[in-house]
Amino acid sequence: MRFRKPAVEPLEINLTPMIDCLLFLIIFLLLATSFNHFSRLNIVLPEAEGVALIEPETSIEVAVQEDGSYLVNGISLASSSEAELTNLLQQEAGSNRDMLFVIAADANATHQSVVRVMDIAGKLGFLNLNISTVMPLSQSSSQ
């Protein structure tokens, strides 16, 4: 008796059902996910009582006015360019980068104006960076 060799069918993996399942999962996750909008959050920041600042002998104070202009230790800049602010800060500080660097920004000054000062201070290597604030009237009158 002569037996035939069984024919071996080539192994084939059908990926179509798996791709269909993955697409259904992706669509389900996209429909079920809620995206957070951080700009819509109402955040109430905590209050803190500051410690009285001990004024060092030398410091640099950069005032950021509402219109975006700068004053460095009371000296007004002709323009609010980054190069002019950098040059004046280098003149005022000399080689001392350990002195206190205070940013006194108007409450209505743009965030970009304040960040520009912080960026320049970081590039120049200042280590002691402070932002000047005032205590609310309700706290200062009760003390």
Classified as helix, coil or strand, 22 is helix
Residue matched to tokens 């003390």:
143
| Any domain includes 105 | yes
Residue 50 is predicted with a pLDDT of 63
Q: Which range marks the domain in which residue 97 is found?
A: 59-134
Is the CA virtual torsion 68, 71, 75, 80 positive or negative? negative
Residue type, 7: A
| Any domain includes 37 | no
Q: Cα separation of 104 and 58, whole Å?
A: 16
Q: What is the CATH number of the domain that holds 90?
A: 3.30.420.270
Residue 32 is predicted with a pLDDT of 84
| Any domain includes 33 | no
Q: Could you say which residues of the chain have pLDDT below 70?
A: 1, 35-57, 133-143
| Any domain includes 77 | yes
| Any domain includes 140 | no
| Any domain includes 102 | yes
Residue 49 is predicted with a pLDDT of 65
| Any domain includes 34 | no
DSSP characters for 55-76? PPSSEEEEEE-TTS-EEETTEE
101-135 pLDDT, tens per residue? Answer: 888 888 788 888 889 999 999 898 888 888 876 66
